[in-house]
Amino acid sequence: MPCSSALAPFVIAALVALGPLPAGAQNNVAPPPAAISQRAKLCQMCHGRKGLPTVKNTPIIAGQHESSLLIALQEYRNGARTDDLMGRIAKNLSEDDMKALAA
Ligand code: HEC
């Protein structure tokens, strides 16, 4: 996946720059919408804003069912799915992040 791996350092840097979630988010309290929309912008870099992915070889996630997206993210995190890029991204997401992003 030459295109997306070229982006990887930037994506990792962006995730680090976003920093840890506010403490409340760790306790099943929905994170503030601002934090989620920042993360969603990151996803849109590759998956596209509404529909077509912007990076080659990136699957379309718009329009997919909320629960399938959540399962996909959980699988990346627990290793049932392996992708160098999405695996690293999913490891940085909390359960609540994943639910909010999927929604
Ligand atoms: C650097 C580019 C990039 C970014 C940023 C990115 N993704 Fe992905 N994503 C991919 C690629 C490439 C795949 C396909 C990986 C594979 O083959 O398993 C993928 C796969 C997925 C899938 C599985 C889709 C399916 O139909 O199987 C989901 C869900 C997903 N990404 C969600 C997200 C979310 C949510 C974010 C933001 C937190 C995000 N992605 C950020 C590149 C990216």
Structural domain spans, the chain: 2-9+32-102
CATH of 2-9+32-102, one of 3.40.50.1980, 3.40.50.720, 1.10.760.10, 1.10.10.10: 1.10.760.10
What global pTM score does this model have?
0.70
- The answer to whether 21 and 35 have CB atoms below 8 angstroms apart is yes
What is the CB neighbour count within 10 angstroms for residue 49?
13
Residue 29 Cα to ligand 1 midpoint, Å, equals 25
pLDDT tens, N- to C-terminus, the chain (103 residues):
555 566 666 666 665 566 555 554 455 555 556 777 888 888 888 998 776 788 888 998 988 888 999 999 999 999 999 998 999 999 989 888 888 888 8
Residue 5 Cα to ligand 1 midpoint, Å, equals 12
Residues with CB under 6 A from ligand 1: 1, 4, 7, 11, 39, 42-43, 45-47, 55, 57-59, 61, 69, 72-73, 81, 83, 85-86, 89, 101
Q: For tokens 């890029």, what's the residue?
A: 85
